[in-house]
Amino acid sequence: MFDNLIGQEALVTGLKREVTEGTLPRSLLFFGPPYSGKGTAALELARVLTCEKKAEWNCPCRSCEQHRRLIHPNTLLLGPRYFREEIAACAEVLRRWDQSSTRYLFIRSVRKLTRRFDPQLWEGNDAKLKKIQSLLTEVEESLDFFLPGVAHDDRDLVEKRLSRMVELCGLIQKEGALDGISVDRIRKAGVWVQTTGESRKIVILENADQMQEGARNALLKTLEEPGPQVYFILLTSRRNGIIPTIASRLRQYRFYPRTEETSQDILQRVFRESPGRYSSIQEYFLAWGVDLDTLHQQVNRFITAVGRKTVDYDELRACFDWIKKEEVFHLFLDELLKKMMEKDGLLSSAEGEMSMMFRRERWMEALRETLYRYETLNQSPALAAERLFYLMRESITCAAL
């Protein structure tokens, strides 16, 4: 078990022990930086908890086969994710290396998206689901073509099917409006876990820090009485974004950043990439969602503009328009956060180390507020970016006082 979780050896050892000894809690929080394996660990834990045998890797039982295809009926997946980038990347892997492992990799990347539209989560919202039902149906019917054992003799047909699948998933993500975590989804999950049955049920909630306030309250009620066979696994890259009343009900598991060596190992073994082509797993996935050079340039221009005495409004507006057009606000904020954590990303400061620490703290606070306005209050990306810009400029003035 957990053979597919690379680079988190101490955590894997602890999880194995708790599963074997029966001491695993029923409410867990996996926290750590993006691309550190939290999602992989949650899905593998769900497989282990529902296995009909001993949960060994490549177990042939029906439950484990369903988990390999991400169709197990007793697992719910909620929360936003980098769907578009992952699906595009896994499609490319399958183009270059057609094996059972890469077929499962692609199928799972697609179902991480489509499982967000399970009927249990959308009951009573037929009008919203109807908009994408035909797309979901076409995707499910097409996925059978990629199952291990299905002959792929016509490479042109394979390419046609892959391109169509990536296109369909892009439409589903756009029309499905999966940003943030609504109170309705959490309530539906709460009803689902309370239904009768003796089998174990697992709810995996990705980016749990992005829950709306009503969703947090609804989840809190469910966590107080989850049911005897129910497991909640929350994932986050921002542990401080989990409110204390929820965090206190979760056993926390820390995922550490993967080393460059481990990242290169994963890129070669899982994604069949040449050594050194990408510096990290995050960079690899970002490359499928946006031009990395352009992203870095826009972030650097944004930070430089923050520090200038006068504002070039034309240049700033071009940056905001790019964010809106390319639908990359989350990626932009992730890269901005990364830059904030670097000393040279805080601009040169004549006031010294204390001034830089103050600036970082204020910028992080501004970033958290921006995320809240964007994800919870549905503020437009361009408007949220503009507000963030002026909050960051204001912090420079305050630091100088």
* Helix residue ranges per DSSP H, 97-125: 100-114, 119-122
Buried b (16+ CB within 10 A) or exposed e, 9-46: eebbeebeebbeeeebebbbbbbbebbbbbbbbbbbbb
Nearest Cα to Cα of residue 68 among 60, 79, 80, 76: 60
- Taking CA atoms, 325 is separated from 171, 306, 313, 319, in Å, by 16, 22, 18, 10
CB atoms within 10 A of CB 290: 19
- Note the Cα 14 to chain centre separation in Å: 24
Spatial separation of the C-alpha atoms in residues 94 and 87, rounded to whole Å: 11
Is the Cβ–Cβ distance between 284 and 278 less than 8 Å? yes
Judge if pTM exceeds 0.75.
yes
Backbone region of residue 35 per phi and psi (left: phi > 0; alpha: psi in -120 to 50; beta: other values): left
pLDDT tens for the chain, residues 1 to 401: 888 899 899 999 999 999 999 999 999 999 998 899 999 999 999 999 999 998 898 899 999 999 999 999 999 999 988 888 899 999 999 999 999 999 999 999 999 999 999 988 888 777 778 888 999 999 999 999 999 999 988 999 999 999 999 999 989 988 876 767 888 899 999 999 888 677 899 999 999 988 878 899 999 999 988 777 899 999 998 888 899 999 999 999 999 999 999 999 999 999 999 888 888 888 888 788 777 788 888 998 898 888 888 888 888 888 888 887 766 787 788 788 878 777 555 555 444 555 667 777 888 888 888 877 876 677 888 888 999 999 988 877 664 44
Distance in angstroms between the alpha carbons of the first and the last residue of the chain: 56
Axis-axis angle for helices 83-96, 100-114 (nearest 10): 160
Q: Which two tokens stand for residue 315?
A: 């240049």
Per-residue pLDDT, 350:
46
Please provide the CATH number assigned to the domain covering 9-269. Answer: 3.40.50.300
Is the Cβ–Cβ distance between 250 and 29 less than 8 Å? yes
Spatial separation of the C-alpha atoms in residues 341 and 319, rounded to whole Å: 22
The full set of domain ranges for the chain reads 9-269, 290-400
Secondary structure E strands in 40-193:
75-78
Per-residue pLDDT, 208:
92
Spatial separation of the C-alpha atoms in residues 281 and 271, rounded to whole Å: 10
Is the Cβ–Cβ distance between 63 and 53 less than 8 Å? no
Spatial separation of the C-alpha atoms in residues 349 and 366, rounded to whole Å: 19
Spatial separation of the C-alpha atoms in residues 264 and 258, rounded to whole Å: 10
Backbone angles phi, psi at 284, to 5 degrees: -60, -50
Spatial separation of the C-alpha atoms in residues 90 and 43, rounded to whole Å: 17
